Amino acid sequence: MSIEGKITLVTGANSGLGKATTVGLAQMGAHVVMVCRDQVRGEAARQEIIERSGNTHVDLLMADLSSQQSIRQLVNTFRAKHAHLHLLINNAGAVFMRRTLSADAIEMSLAVNHLAPFLLTNLLLDTLKSSAPARIINVGTRIGTSLNLEDLQFEQRPYRGLQAYAQTKLGNILFTYSLAQRLVETGVTVNCVHPGVFKSNLGSNNTDEPFLLKIAGWLGKFILPDADHAAQRILYLAVSPEVATITGQYFGNRKPLQSPSQTYDITTQEQLWEISTALTLVNTSNTMGGSTTTN
């Protein structure tokens, strides 16, 4: 679709992949709404994006995506300003090396990486549907693990930060597949993308991380490609006419990938949907082809 003048929303837009994607969208003339949690970092990125793109239609909205109240406030603020939403990019993500609880008493990896996109998307579905054709892109990753639905929050087993992260990224794929089923014939597509591996600030919140991980992070800054290249994968899904009607896929570099076998299991998809609904208290009962209550 031509993205010029279209309303787009990118979470985690002040850093890494989110910032690179926002620059790309702004360069193509989109009206981009950046979602960031820190006013200073967000505003600095906004100014840089305006400078690099020459597009002044770059707005900043604040939200801590680990807090469900903050996500609900974000949606209310967004809707007060915009009647339409043509593109939603659920990009924000974080790694937590120690088990930490959110303001809603939910394990942080689950709260930020899976429940935040689940809640935000469901709250914005009415707006997306009424703006159709519209696209949703969930940023996942290619990482091997399985989802333990009995213990999503590591209450009954030792916590492992990377395993918790990987599990939530698998959740992004499962969410994409089950949402796509619910959005059939609405004109809203949803796909998940593995952006590859690139330079970013991911994990930098873990100030007490093991020495070896610190070294690995430091080395990565030299060895890894920057996020601009990875952003091309998202921008392709965002604007290419080739994928205008493609939905419910897990993409790598412009091509659908096979995702882990567990993600194709409908029962697992539906169980995760039910758990996510219970943990966010969002009303998704009328998602199928109809409107979604924004409670």
Ligand X SMILES: NC(=O)c1ccc[n+]([C@@H]2O[C@H](COP(=O)([O-])OP(=O)(O)OC[C@H]3O[C@@H](n4cnc5c(N)ncnc54)[C@H](OP(=O)(O)O)[C@@H]3O)[C@@H](O)[C@H]2O)c1
Catalytically active residues are 165
How far is it, in rounded angstroms, from Cα 295 to Cα 290?
16
Alpha carbon 95 to its chain's center: 14
- Using a 10 angstrom Cβ sphere, with 0-12 exposed, 13-18 middle and 19 or more buried, the burial of residue 241 is exposed
User: Do residues 250 and 173 make contact, with C-beta atoms less than 8 angstroms apart?
Assistant: yes
| Residue 198 touching ligand X (CB under 6 A) | yes
User: Do residues 78 and 61 make contact, with C-beta atoms less than 8 angstroms apart?
Assistant: yes
Residues 98-117 that bind ligand X (CB under 6 A): 112
Residue 186 CA: distances (Å) to CA of 87, 190, 223, 268, 288: 14, 11, 43, 24, 9
| Residue 78 touching ligand X (CB under 6 A) | no
Strands 250-251 and 188-193: parallel
- For the CA atoms of 140, 138, 260, 258, the dihedral, rounded to the nearest 10 degrees, stands at -110
Binds ligand X by CB under 6 A, chosen from 8, 9, 18, 120: 18
Question: Could you tell me how many residues of this chain bind ligand X (CB under 6 A)?
Answer: 26
Site string for ligand X, 30-69 (x = CB under 6 A): -------xx--x----------------------xxx---
| Residue 191 touching ligand X (CB under 6 A) | no
Which CB atom, from 137 or from 180, has the smaller least distance to ligand X? 137
How far is it, in rounded angstroms, from Cα 234 to Cα 114?
18
Kindly state the smallest distance separating residue 70's Cβ from ligand X, in Å: 8
User: Do residues 275 and 150 make contact, with C-beta atoms less than 8 angstroms apart?
Assistant: no
Kindly state the smallest distance separating residue 16's Cβ from ligand X, in Å: 2
Which CB atom, from 93 or from 260, has the smaller least distance to ligand X? 93
Which CB atom, from 197 or from 215, has the smaller least distance to ligand X? 197
Among 59, 38, 205, 176, smallest CA distance to 117 is for: 176
Among 8-16, 150-158, 207-215, 240-248, the segment contacting ligand X (CB under 6 A): 8-16
Q: What share of the chain is helix, strand, coil (3-state, %, to 5)?
A: 45, 15, 40
Binds ligand X by CB under 6 A, chosen from 131, 141, 178, 249: 141
| Residue 235 touching ligand X (CB under 6 A) | no
Binds ligand X by CB under 6 A, chosen from 3, 7, 9, 14: 14
The helix-helix angle for 68-81 and 116-130 (nearest 10°) equals 20
Among 13-21, 232-240, 256-264, 273-281, the segment contacting ligand X (CB under 6 A): 13-21
| Residue 263 touching ligand X (CB under 6 A) | no
Which CB atom, from 2 or from 39, has the smaller least distance to ligand X? 39
Residues that bind ligand X (CB under 6 A): 12, 14-18, 37-38, 41, 64-66, 91-94, 112, 139, 141, 195, 197-198, 200-202, 227
